[in-house]
Structure 1
């Protein structure tokens, strides 16, 4: 083969390699997640006890906010929890009737400033995401009717001072974050009854108040163990083993069947066999 041909092939190979390296990130396959159609969304519509329209798309493996939801922007409640969402679009402000928004257990690193336009919002759950102080806009303070706000299990180092305007706030979850102190403006919120700041690097006593064991249950969320990081997965596995040794966890201890008002001959025989042994 002619020397020039070899040179041409070599240059072409180098060019292709350079192009591949430059566009490497674009060529990597991206996880598209589950695609939600308008028909699916309409089928997920429910009516609450008090007659409100609720759109429940929780635990659907959604990675991108479905654009088709904008055609259902008149709903009162929106549940997108336990998905894989990384961002909420600015168009969230079109859901002007929202009173209840649940986004817990996603991968959100920031909220759009347009979140402040949801003036009728009463309940906002952002627990178990990746929010930092930079990702929590000051516009959150515009949600003047907000009564319950859950920011637990994020990466918040501080809170925007604008939250001092949330005069109707009754419940605030800040557990499992990176807060080093409790903002003073929280003490000036007249209706704040429940405040959970546990598991933060705060110096001094635990600032959580009015949280009995029953109240703490509202901050627990069931997620697939496959979604947990290695450390959390190991910790949960150890806890399950402890429960198994106590005879509580299912699958580890064989529970005897309960017969209401009846005595099972087989169960009596088994008890006697255990006694003989």
Structure 2
């Protein structure tokens, strides 16, 4: 095997690679995608290695084993669970680095930009905020191209991308980027104009205007507004007067800097849609049960480490989106959850608490892609006896065939097929 140039071990459910792989002096291509790997052996002695493909595995940390491969050109770690780059990343010799569909919160710009040969970085569909992206764009040399679509705060991606590829790098780049992502805020006249229009249309649209706080003047519309759109700003808190919006049906605050909600949120009896995706929220107040007409809650891409129990009291809720958080388990009270569609993709789930989840009698769609689930978590009662007719489960610790072999799968498949026919 000393003359081996390409090694393809993809789709084998491997949990580890032997250290001997690192002793193959002629190896040029290593393909280990779609396994269950959490690390790679030291590849520094693979002196001719040019390509490493390790997508769809279980990496939670960037593998140091590739950092010292002297001839490495392409490094692909798509669809893993990597959250940051280690300081050792500066030793990476790769020309192209691809980590889309991970959980990156940081680029470790100082060390990543020390990679001497780096020319292309793809970090689409991660959890990077504006500041992380701006820091990289402002400091990267013009020959490095970066793609960062689909992150926590994706506003003005095209503008930042253009600056990242501009040849005229200077201090003005940072100031321009700050302006693009809304540091300056809208003028008073602009806000007043929107307020005047909203008094007639009952819709206040201040999306992406650079707001750092909700203007006090908005309170004047408390008894009028039906739809309040404040997404893609820099708002850090919701004022308590939000509870006065007795007629509000839709509240959109995605991609801001919120860490919590005021108790007064529960006073909005007619609220139907609450969109809080892309913030830093860790929990929801118990008072949210007061939103008795609430149908949809989107709290994806936040900082939940536990399932928000307070949501269970929302009896009219149809859709709950908790994608891209850090939830590891589901509580026993999940049996009382009233939702039709539950999305928990790209969390850290190790258990589904199937015995209780299967008792959620309105649940029809369950999305748990990109977690840490074993096939045994999909117990017979969930597949055979529950009302769930659609389950998405890619990127966990089992393959499609494993799922099809589970007890109760045939009953689930009948419900799934019937649902697809209706569509």
Corresponding residue for residue 174 of structure 1: 322
Corresponding residue for residue 287 of structure 2: 139
SS in 2 for 1:42: helix
* Unaligned runs of at least 5 residues, structure 1: 1-30, 213-277
In terms of fraction of residues, the more helix-rich structure is 1
Q: Deviations over 1:19-65 (max 9, x none)?
A: xxxxxxxxxxxx66334455222355397xxxx72111111111111
2:209 to 50, 60, 63: 60
Is the 1:35–1:62 contact (alpha carbons within 8 Å) kept by the matching residues of 2? no
Give the stretch that moved more between structures: 179-188 or 104-113.
179-188
* Unaligned runs of at least 5 residues, structure 2: 1-182, 358-362, 368-423
- Paired residue total: 175
Name the larger-Rg structure. Answer: 1
2:247 to 67, 80, 97: 97
Distance 1:181 1:35, change over 3 A: farther
Give the Cα–Cα distance (whole angstroms) in 2 for the partners of residues 123 and 157 of structure 1: 23
1:39 to 192, 197, 200: 192
Corresponding residue for residue 127 of structure 1: 277
1:210 to 351, 365, 373: 365
Distance 1:77 1:58, change over 3 A: same
Corresponding residue for residue 259 of structure 2: 109
Is the 2:318–2:340 contact (alpha carbons within 8 Å) kept by the matching residues of 1? yes
RMSD: 2.5
Q: Deviations over 1:175-232 (max 9, x none)?
A: 1111111233333234x111110111110479996268xxxxxxxxxxxxxxxxxxxx
TM-score, length-scaled by structure 1: 0.57
Give the Cα–Cα distance (whole angstroms) in 2 for the partners of residues 46 and 183 of structure 1: 43
**Higher RCO structure (Cα 8 Å, ≥6 apart):** 1
Distance 1:36 1:81, change over 3 A: farther
SS in 1 for 2:342: strand
Corresponding residue for residue 348 of structure 2: 201
Is the 1:153–1:177 contact (alpha carbons within 8 Å) kept by the matching residues of 2? yes
Within a 5 Å distance, the mapping from 1:8-27 to structure 2 comes to none
Corresponding residue for residue 156 of structure 1: 304
Distance 1:66 1:35, change over 3 A: farther
Give the Cα–Cα distance (whole angstroms) in 2 for the partners of residues 160 and 210 of structure 1: 19
Is the 1:46–1:56 contact (alpha carbons within 8 Å) kept by the matching residues of 2? no
Q: Deviations over 1:131-156 (max 9, x none)?
A: 113xx222122212110000110001
